[in-house]
Amino acid sequence: MSTFFIRTATPRDMAAVSELLAETWQATYGAIYDAERVAEITGMWHTEKALRARLGQPDSEFLVADDGTRLGGMAFARAASDDRTLLVLHHLYVRPDAQGQGVGTDLFSEIAGCFPQATRIRVEVEEANDKAVGFYVGLGFARVGTSDGGIGLPALVFERPLGAFDA
């Protein structure tokens, strides 16, 4: 069990979430992509403005893991627009020094419970990110396909059913 509590993100969290994502992406993807590519992606997806735009989107939830002094992780999911029973997990990131403490599992459990109409959940994972692939497989996800991630990044697509008691 982690020392972080899970709560809904607020606009005041967006600077800390942006920082968390920059740190996490550099630690995770710095060995996969060059530093310029990591900076380009984080500059598109993880600015305060881009993150703030996700807050309050219909049929979505934006969570943070907070220990009272800093954020240790974040998650963002949204129900699929064409299939209300499908939950799409767009982001689940845990600060490198908080990994292995249950933060990711806690975030997953909480976000999965926010969508009672969802019967399954999907996530795309960079195929070279072995740690993330292991995390999702450990949560019961199975590979169902591949994707270019929407911007030409190779990704594996994983799904798993959602039940009354999850993770």
Q: Give tens-digit pLDDT for 82-126.
A: 888 999 999 999 999 999 999 999 999 999 999 999 999 999 998
Alpha-helix runs per DSSP H in 46-89: 48-54
Domain at 5-119, CATH class: alpha beta
Q: Judge contact between 10 and 69, C-beta under 8 A.
A: no
Which residues of the chain, if any, have pLDDT below 70?
1-2, 149-152, 164-167
| CA–CA gap between residue 93 and residue 130 (Å, rounded) | 14
Edge-to-edge strand order for the sheet containing 155-161?
A: 5-8, 60-66, 71-79, 86-94, 120-126, 155-161, 142-147
**Tokens matching residue 101:** 């403490």
